[in-house]
Every structure is written in structure tokens, then in C-alpha cells.
């Protein structure tokens, strides 16, 4: 991939090391410059109207600066084929390294949800609500861009992606909008040596229903640690569980 001149100049002679964590169509490479760590992230231009857009994520990071601990945005660029951004590496380790300590992981996930949902919504220009995400799904389906690996068999009665799309349209829940990370999983939350939390991969950040991030945390705990600790997370939310809301957002995510 040919890099824009501004991006190439910043990277200089540094070695780009691919980061293979995650399933998005974006490419991520880490590199070192002046003793500091950075990441180069790029997305194909066809994803520009979607939440995979690197330039969208860059705008989210700019808006969140001072509101939430997120990567420092260093540089953005684009050409006819790709969008690019460079961010400074956040400190600490991802919560994925703490799955062997279930109670610690649970407490940090609880803290992460509180931090994200405490972001003031006033003036937030990013709409990540259901209507926007369904329109995005339509675009991905129309252009053959949906995730190749998906499992619709976990929900009875779905013969294919179009069935899922129809079910999502017909069962849209009422939304209680808060700021949402959009992909709140154990590889996207870092904890540093002072127990401060840092958040990455915010391309889907914006105003969305309260239960979207809760659903993702519950799924992550369920799959990485076990159902007991995941259900404990729900019990300690301080409000009644909404299993249908959680299922809706897991279904909405399946083709992404």
C-alpha cells in the first residue's frame, strides 16, 4: 500500500509491525519513533460511509479528548483508495490479559462502563443509534462487505443475513441514548499501572442505547471467563436486566 507523503514522513525508517487483533477490514500496524509507540490505521475508501471509516474514528477521538482517556491523534490523511490515521500508543495492558483474574476483570469492566457512560452527551455530533446502524448494515449487504464469519444458528429461525436484517428492523427496541463506545471488549480497554483505564478502537463511538455496551461486556465476559462471572456483572449493574435488549445488540453486531 502506498502511503500519503505526510504519513510516510512521520514513519520515516521505522519498521511497521502488523497488529492482527480484531476482525475489522481496517489494517493496523505498530511502530516505534523516538522511543515512543505509535499505530498506523487505514481503512479502504469503500468503507468511508460506515463506522469502519478511519476518518470517522479520528473525529471521535478528537471530540473525546479531555472527556475520556483515548489515544492521542497525531496525523490523518487520505487518498483515493484509503483513509489513514496515526495515533500514539496508550499505556498499560489490555483487559484480555486479566481473564485469569475474574474478579479483577469484572471490576475493571464495571469501571469501564461507568467511564464511557459518564461522557456528557451534550454537543456530541456522533449518531450511533439503531437507525444509523441499520442503514450501515444495508450498505454493507448491498456491497458484499459483511463479515464472512458469522453464526446465525445461535438464534432460531434465521435462514440468512436478510432474515436477520428483517428481524432487526421489525424488533427495534426503544432507545435510551448515552455515549457508547460501540465495541467495548477486553482488547479495547487498557489498564495502566495507576489503574487508570484507556479506550481504543472507537470507530463506532457515539450516541446509542444504554444496553449496547452492556451487551458487549456481558458477551465478552461470558465467552472469555464464563457465564457465572458474566451474570454477576448483570446482577451488579444496579438496574433490572433487559435480556431482549442485549440479544438485539448482539444480533445487530453479528454481520459486522
Distance CA 218, CA 227 (A): 9
Element of type H or E holding 206: strand 206-209
Q: Are 211 and 233 in contact (CB under 8 A)?
A: no
C-alpha cell at 25: 477490514
C-alpha 197/C-alpha 98 separation (Å) is: 13
- Three cell numbers at 179? 455515549
Which contiguous run of DSSP H or E holds residue 113? helix 102-117
Note if 186 is an active site residue.
Answer: no
Q: Which of 79, 127, 170, 183 is catalytic?
A: 183
Q: Please, what is the end-to-end C-alpha distance for the chain in angstroms?
A: 24
How many other CB atoms are there within 10 angstroms of residue 179's CB atom?
Answer: 24
Q: Which residues are catalytic?
A: 183
Amino acid at each position: 500500500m502506498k502511503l500519503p507523503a505526510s504519513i510516510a514522513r512521520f514513519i520515516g525508517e521505522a519498521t511497521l509491525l502488523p497488529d492482527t487483533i480484531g476482525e475489522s477490514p481496517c489494517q493496523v500496524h505498530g511502530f516505534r519513533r523516538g522511543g515512543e509507540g505509535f499505530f498506523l490505521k487505514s481503512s479502504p475508501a469503500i468503507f468511508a460511509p460506515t463506522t469502519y471509516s478511519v476518518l470517522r474514528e479520528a473525529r471521535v477521538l478528537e471530540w473525546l479528548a479531555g472527556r475520556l482517556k483515548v489515544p492521542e491523534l497525531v496525523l490523518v490523511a487520505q487518498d483515493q483508495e484509503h483513509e489513514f490515521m496515526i495515533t500514539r500508543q496508550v499505556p498499560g495492558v489490555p483487559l484480555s490479559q486479566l481473564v485469569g483474574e475474574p474478579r479483577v476483570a469484572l471490576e475493571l469492566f464495571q469501571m469501564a462502563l461507568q467511564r464511557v457512560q459518564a461522557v456528557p452527551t451534550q454537543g456530541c455530533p456522533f449518531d450511533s443509534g439503531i437507525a444509523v446502524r441499520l442503514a450501515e448494515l444495508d450498505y454493507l449487504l448491498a456491497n458484499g462487505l459483511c463479515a464472512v464469519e458469522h453464526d446465525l444458528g445461535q438464534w432460531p429461525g434465521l435462514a440468512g443475513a436478510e432474515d436477520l436484517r428483517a428481524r432487526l428492523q421489525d424488533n427495534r427496541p426503544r432507545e435510551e441514548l448515552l455515549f457508547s463506545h460501540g465495541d467495548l471488549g477486553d482488547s479495547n480497554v487498557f489498564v495502566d499501572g495507576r489503574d487508570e483505564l484507556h479506550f481504543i478502537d472507537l470507530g463506532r463511538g457515539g450516541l446509542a442505547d444504554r444496553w449496547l455496551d452492556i451487551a458487549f461486556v456481558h458477551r465478552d465476559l461470558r465467552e472469555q471467563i464464563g457465564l457465572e462471572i458474566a451474570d454477576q456483572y448483570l446482577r451488579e449493574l444496579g438496574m433490572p436486566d433487559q435480556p431482549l435488549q442485549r440479544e438485539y445488540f448482539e444480533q445487530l453486531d453479528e454481520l459486522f
